[in-house]
Amino acid sequence: DAGVIQSPRHEVTEMGQEVTLRCKPISGHDYLFWYRQTMMRGLELLIYFNNNVPIDDSGMPEDRFSAKMPNASFSTLKIQPSEPRDSAVYFCASSPLPLYEQYFGPGTRLTVT
């Protein structure tokens, strides 16, 4: 298996623009997680899905952030409009069961200028 795939790997955009991050989980994994990592705040869970249904979105910072999982093999995290403070590395992870290990993608480094 190719592992969790994220695209793009790097994104540079201007403040106010819409940003869409993409994730393909490992086939057969029912759980998908979106994280954000910054030096100041460390690793934060934004939202997670079980069987394509959002279970907990309490970590989504504000309404500018939205996430979808239209099917078992694809998820998006959208920021609209983007702001400089959204600059971070965004990770997607998937897991076969909640108490098992999570498999992380390589991350998307987002820079908002």
Q: Which residues bind other proteins (CB under 8 A)?
A: 4, 31, 33, 42-43, 45, 48, 50, 55-56, 91, 93, 98-99, 101-107
Judged by DSSP in three states, 53 sits in strand
Residue 96 neighbours by CB under 8 Å, 6+ apart: 28, 29, 30, 31
Comparing CB distances to other proteins, the nearer of 65 and 91 is 91
Comparing CB distances to other proteins, the nearer of 76 and 81 is 76
Comparing CB distances to other proteins, the nearer of 15 and 55 is 55
Q: How far is the CB of 41 from other proteins (least distance, A)?
A: 9
**Token digits for 57?**
């979105």
Residue 53 neighbours by CB under 8 Å, 6+ apart: 69
Q: How far is the CB of 102 from other proteins (least distance, A)?
A: 6
Residue 27 neighbours by CB under 8 Å, 6+ apart: 1, 73
Q: How far is the CB of 81 from other proteins (least distance, A)?
A: 27
**Token digits for 36?**
């954000």
Q: How far is the CB of 63 from other proteins (least distance, A)?
A: 21
